[in-house]
């Protein structure tokens, strides 16, 4: 019996060590899933635009102009695919909110140069913000929206720059926290160097924050989204979507909640 227990323990330890080594060696491949080919595009008018991240990396995006726009929205997407997979969301935002939309790809995604890293994506959204500002938009007329991984990128910028409002869809607290939900028995905090620690930053955001999360999100737990929301400063609102979706939960908002979101975003602030 003791020999069996010792053998079992060795197997468990060897498996754990092997998985830890795998995570260390292939961490970025576990976080980023870029695709180069753009398989979709907006149905309405749009411009191909190129601009630089703050470190000089050349990035690609789409500018979706809206007639009589109230401002500009920067959409930062999740960790897989590229902007081609989010064209319907961009169109929805333009039509429903009457706002210009900048959809852009992080480095290594779509037609953007480079390879993705945490610091690189922070540099990318700062480049997108600078690009929008260069088109004549003041900070208070710029709305940031992040989806999944893009919520952490958005939080990092909003914690350091003035913006009109922030929308976070399918937000998570940090990468190590997400790792613990996937590999609960391993010392994941010490294994992963990529942090995307929104929980430690979100209270510094002074812009209004709207958070949207689907109850049946199979990737980022609904409870994790609520945890991040509780750490945020007011003014803030949480929108619950009763659906089994991850990105694109905003498309599942009912008419009443959609109007509530619009009223919250455009409410006069003192």
Active-site residue flag, 246: yes
Provide the β-strand partners of residue 49: 61
The number of CA neighbours under 13 Å toward the Cβ of 150 is: 29
Q: Do residues 76 and 152 make contact, with C-beta atoms less than 8 angstroms apart?
A: no
Torsion of CA 133, 260, 78, 180, to 10 degrees: 130
Spatial neighbors of 163 by CB under 8 A, at least 6 apart, are 139, 140, 142, 143, 144, 157, 207
| Sheet of 100-104, strand order | 47-52, 58-64, 100-104, 72-76, 142-147, 165-169, 209-214, 236-241
Based on the residue annotation, tell me whether 217 is a catalytic residue of this protein.
Answer: yes
Q: Which of 60, 77, 213, 246 is catalytic?
A: 246
Paired residues of 142 in beta bridges: 72
- Cβ atoms of residues 217 and 171 within 8 Å: no
What does the alpha-carbon distance between residue 167 and residue 39 come to, in Å, rounded to a whole number? 26
Residue pair 66/141 in contact by the 8 Å Cβ criterion: no
Q: Considering the candidates 105, 124, 156, 217, report the single residue annotated as catalytic.
A: 217
Tokens of 257: 């909640």
β-partners of residue 64 are: 101
Options 141, 148, 174, 198, the catalytic residue: 148
Active site residues: 148, 217, 246
């Amino acid at each position: 019996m003791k020999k069996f227990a010792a053998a079992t323990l060795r197997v468990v330890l060897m498996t754990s060590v092997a998985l830890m080594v795998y995570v260390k060696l292939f961490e970025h491949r576990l976080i980023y899933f870029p695709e180069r080919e753009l398989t979709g595009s907006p149905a309405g008018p749009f411009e191909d635009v190129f601009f630089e991240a703050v470190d000089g990396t050349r990035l690609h995006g789409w500018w979706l102009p809206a007639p009589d726009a109230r401002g500009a929205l920067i959409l930062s997407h999740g960790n897989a695919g590229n902007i081609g997979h989010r064209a319907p969301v961009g169109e929805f935002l333009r039509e429903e909110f009457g706002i210009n939309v900048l959809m852009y790809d992080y480095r290594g995604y779509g037609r953007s140069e480079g390879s993705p890293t945490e610091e690189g994506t922070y540099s990318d959204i700062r480049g997108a913000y600078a690009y929008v500002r260069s088109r004549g938009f003041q900070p208070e007329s710029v709305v940031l929206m992040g989806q999944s991984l893009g919520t952490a990128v958005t939080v990092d910028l909003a914690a350091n720059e003035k913006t009109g409002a922030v929308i976070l869809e399918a937000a998570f607290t940090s990468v190590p926290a997400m790792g613990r939900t996937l590999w609960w028995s391993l010392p994941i905090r010490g294994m992963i160097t990529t942090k995307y620690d929104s929980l430690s930053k979100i209270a510094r955001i002074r812009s209004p924050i709207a958070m949207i999360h689907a109850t049946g999100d199979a990737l980022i737990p609904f409870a994790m989204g609520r945890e991040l929301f509780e750490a945020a400063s007011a003014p803030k609102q949480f929108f619950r979507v009763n659906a089994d979706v991850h990105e694109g939960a905003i498309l599942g908002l009912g008419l009443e909640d959609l109007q509530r979101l619009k009223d919250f975003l455009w409410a006069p602030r003192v």
